[in-house]
Structure 1
Amino acid sequence: MIDYGDTYYARTLSDGAQRSVLEGQVKADVAIVGGGLAGLTAALDLARSGRSVAVLEAQRVGWGASGRNGGFVGPGYATSHANITRMVGPERARELHRLSMEGVRIVEENIDALGMSDNKRVYGKLSVLRYHDPDGLKQHCEMMEREFGYRLEVMPTEAVRAVLRSTKYHQALHDPACFHFHPLNYARSLAKAIEERGGRIFEGSRVLGCDLDGAEKICRTARGEVRAREVVLAGGGYTDDLVPRLRRSILPIATYVLLTEAAPERLAEAVRTPMAISDNRRAGDYYRLVDEGTRLLWGGRITTRTSEPRRLAGMMQRTMVATYPQLRGVRVETAWSGLMAYARHLMPLIGRLQPGVWYVFGFGGRGMNTTAIGGRVIAEGILGQSDRYRLYEPFGLAWNGGPFGVAAAQLTYWAYQAMDLAKERRAVGAA
């Protein structure tokens, strides 16, 4: 039996039912390879429109990054709006950002429409600076209000340190529209909704080979096959060599998360807000209180190493204590890793590979909103409702560089860490 591992989300899963393995031949309008949030969103939209869908998942629904992440839902991409503007120009960059905002609304609407009573939303997110730059934050707030009508607020250092008891932090951006929730419960609810609309979902059914060139596509597993007119490839960070061109376009990057023991009094010495928190470093920390403030879920660090470190809990605990020394001695109850998919340009990979073959993956670092909009625009393309997926065409399937690309990504991350540390030291020296 395949399980979700010892993650916080697995421990608090409201529906642990296991789905059947694909046996024999199944026919559908659309076959979807990958039962993460992008594939499930596409499948739900297609099923709502009357298309028959079959989802093939190698492990379990939401088993990968979709059910292992921080659970933060807010607009934006893994790279900045300024970088996107440099790549595609201001008009297209604005359209792309509006899509990312729509992705947040899709998640909210699904929670409401599907009656997800097991998925409480906690609104508010603080993006904190680890150096002094109130003017930069103010300019960003003004740009977001001017370009998108999106309201953000600058929190001064004193206000930040009143709720986050760390001398590492300076000012913060407060986004009242962001929220955090239980991503694995959300994925499982999407799957249930798909099945209620006639869709079929098979777990433990890794696709081992595909015939994609004919009018009828075939996806084969160890014990069966799905025949469909359209195929959506949505493997995320666990994309294998099923379609080599797709695998060569991403770098699987590992991120790590821990869950503390129940220690409400100790945690209140450090974190005094229920909001989601992240810092401004390239691969910074992100965390939130869970279980009514009794435990802390803390994520951060990235590496190109795809195997889980032996002393993961201790490594993550040191990261947490470096920010909040008052949490020294708070026990880590469990820790886990997950693989995110990054393209070299840090944008999602969304598009049509060839007639009847679509791909939607590469959401590293900002998957909660971008998986939603990615799944939707692919469904719209299949249904002939829009060609919004083409907004992502400038971010193509660029070669990841192979082993040299992996080494370059790790070296780049270390360089960014060094630059972030230098900024923090200058901030301390100027204080």
Structure 2
Amino acid sequence: MCVMHDDGIVEKRSAKAGECEMAHIDSLWAATANDHRIRPALEGELTTDVAIIGGGYTGLSTAYHLAQKQVGCVVLEQQQAGWGASGRNAGMVLTGYKPSIDSLASKHGKETARELLHISVEGIKLVETIVREHRISCSLENCGNFDAAFKPAHLEALKRNQEFMQTNFGYETYVIDKERMKREEVNSDLYHGGLVDPHSYSFHPLNYALGLADAAEANGAVIYDRTEVTGIAKQGSEFLIRTSSGHVRAQHVVMATNGYTTSLAKSLAKKMVPIGSFIVATERLSREAVERLIPHNRMISDTKNFLYYFRRTPDDRILLGGRVDFNGKEGDALFGQVQQSLIEVFPTLAQTGMDYRWGGLLGFTLDFMPHIGQTEEGIHFALGYCGHGASISTLMGKLLAENVCDPLREKNSLERLPIRTVPFHSQRALLLGVASFYYHFVDKYF
């Protein structure tokens, strides 16, 4: 991987963790990232219209859309643009949300569910538009996704959702049985068939983040890497944002930290639970081997609550994520469990080497839905993607930019969803303990 400093010096660096303090983590995506430059840290003080905290998809998209409106903005990223979940996810650009659309209709009504579905599709279209207009090299492909039924009852639930979507919204998906699944989608005995959604995409997640950062800067946004925000204070009609080496005065603040939200924004930290998710990627396989395992190159996840998600990669590996952790601590034992999950899905890979392993934090809310809005102090935010943020986060950035520029604009159904506070201290510990037990035993075996 080559990185270019702002002084024009190009430095060849390994993407391996620990060899460079500010390098992206030891992921497949970091090892195959496009050449990019290391941006300087903020030093001293500056004044701008909007200060954006967090350099992932949400923050970068907010900056991109604000800059298009000729609104002055800066992005303050503690590590490097794309360093968090935006550069570490599985690269699955999916329609929908963690809850199924028919379950959202039962809870919120059909018209709200219809709009929520439309919003998720709009997010994918926005990603496609940005990639095309700025010629971002990120392997974007309309490959579709496959929901693999872990139990026979799950296949029936997928059929009900498919019928609901087709009948009420004209949204076309289709359900297949186990034998067809093994021939066409997932050559595994673990599942009982599933649902194909041809509308989803795949991409190289870090390269998309890097390209989005470049596009934001090309429009006039300013991005600072290695700039930790240490405090936010409201002073009259403006905010003072203190950093590790300077400060920013801004009329507006956007918090775009999702799973990495800390007590810096206490009211937001209480709205969500950060959960670790971990991934392994095999050594390179033959094209024949990966096509035999996943013939149509879909993005695949199963129907367990704590699911496995897996795919082929552009360089012919199998990537799988499937071990959540409520402490976010990595280690050999944890990644060994992820590898065993991969072997559970594809036993023929038992002797296959693993070239990459990495993890990061996801942001989960109590209703498993993303949320957008403003805190009582007036800080704009979007968070809680629950593992479905690859495209909706880009759309959230566009909505955040619109909220800054037009606070009285009419809000859509997603923006109107109320966000609840997560029980903390002993209640939160109990909540996570129950969830951990559910992951290890109930969800997998019953």
Normalized against structure 2, the TM-score is what? 0.89
Pick which of 229-238 and 125-134 moved more.
Answer: 125-134
Offset from partner CA, 1:316-359 (integer Å, 9 cap, x none): 11111112111111011121111001112212231011464211
Q: Which residue of 2 aligns with 1:158?
A: 179
Candidates 261, 284, 299, aligned match of 1:276: 299
Q: Which residue of 1 aligns with 2:201?
A: 179
Contact in 2 for aligned 1:251/1:400 (Cα 8 Å) = no
Contact in 2 for aligned 1:321/1:328 (Cα 8 Å) = yes
| Corresponding position: 1:45 with 2:65 | yes
- Rounded to whole Å, the distance in 1 between the matches of 2:292 and 2:116 is 40
- Rounded to whole Å, the distance in 2 between the matches of 1:79 and 1:402 is 27
Q: Which residue of 2 aligns with 1:396?
A: 419
Once the 2 structures are TM-superposed, how far is the Cα of residue 400 of structure 1 from its aligned partner?
A: 3.7
**Secondary structure at the residue paired with 1:371?**
helix
- Rounded to whole Å, the distance in 1 between the matches of 2:331 and 2:26 is 15
Q: Which residue of 1 aligns with 2:256?
A: 234
Structure 1 segments, 4+ long, off by >6 Å, are none
Once the 2 structures are TM-superposed, how far is the Cα of residue 406 of structure 1 from its aligned partner?
A: 3.9
Pick which of 281-290 and 95-104 moved more.
Answer: 95-104
Candidates 183, 190, 198, aligned match of 1:168: 190
Once the 2 structures are TM-superposed, how far is the Cα of residue 167 of structure 1 from its aligned partner?
A: 1.1
Once the 2 structures are TM-superposed, how far is the Cα of residue 260 of structure 1 from its aligned partner?
A: 0.6
| Corresponding position: 1:408 with 2:431 | yes
Quote the sequence identity (%).
32
Once the 2 structures are TM-superposed, how far is the Cα of residue 130 of structure 1 from its aligned partner?
A: 1.9
- Rounded to whole Å, the distance in 2 between the matches of 1:187 and 1:167 is 36
Amino acid at match of 1:395: P
Amino acid at match of 1:152: T
| Corresponding position: 1:16 with 2:36 | yes
- Rounded to whole Å, the distance in 1 between the matches of 2:332 and 2:181 is 35
Pick which of 313-322 and 399-408 moved more.
Answer: 399-408
Normalized against structure 1, the TM-score is what? 0.92
Contact in 1 for aligned 2:61/2:216 (Cα 8 Å) = no
How many correspondences in the alignment? 422
- Rounded to whole Å, the distance in 1 between the matches of 2:430 and 2:379 is 31
- Which aligned pairs between 1:182-197 and structure 2 lie closer than 5 A? 182-197=204-219
Q: Which residue of 1 aligns with 2:6?
A: none
Q: Which residue of 1 aligns with 2:396?
A: 374
Over the aligned positions, Cα root-mean-square deviation in angstroms equals 2.1
Amino acid at match of 2:367: H
Contact in 1 for aligned 2:371/2:417 (Cα 8 Å) = no
Contact in 2 for aligned 1:32/1:231 (Cα 8 Å) = yes
Once the 2 structures are TM-superposed, how far is the Cα of residue 165 of structure 1 from its aligned partner?
A: 2.0
- Which aligned pairs between 1:125-140 and structure 2 lie closer than 5 A? 125-133=145-153, 134-140=155-161
Q: 1:57 to 1:327 in 2, by over 3 A?
A: same
Amino acid at match of 1:384: D
Once the 2 structures are TM-superposed, how far is the Cα of residue 422 of structure 1 from its aligned partner?
A: 4.2
- Rounded to whole Å, the distance in 2 between the matches of 1:21 and 1:387 is 37
- Rounded to whole Å, the distance in 2 between the matches of 1:334 and 1:403 is 36
Once the 2 structures are TM-superposed, how far is the Cα of residue 143 of structure 1 from its aligned partner?
A: 1.5
Q: Which residue of 2 aligns with 1:428?
A: none
**Secondary structure at the residue paired with 2:192?**
coil
- Rounded to whole Å, the distance in 1 between the matches of 2:291 and 2:219 is 45
Q: 1:413 to 1:99 in 2, by over 3 A?
A: farther
Candidates 323, 326, 335, aligned match of 1:304: 326
Q: Which residue of 2 aligns with 1:208?
A: 230
Structure 2: unaligned runs, 5 residues or longer: 1-20
Contact in 2 for aligned 1:267/1:327 (Cα 8 Å) = no
Structure 1: unaligned runs, 5 residues or longer: 424-431
- Rounded to whole Å, the distance in 2 between the matches of 1:346 and 1:225 is 35
Once the 2 structures are TM-superposed, how far is the Cα of residue 82 of structure 1 from its aligned partner?
A: 4.2
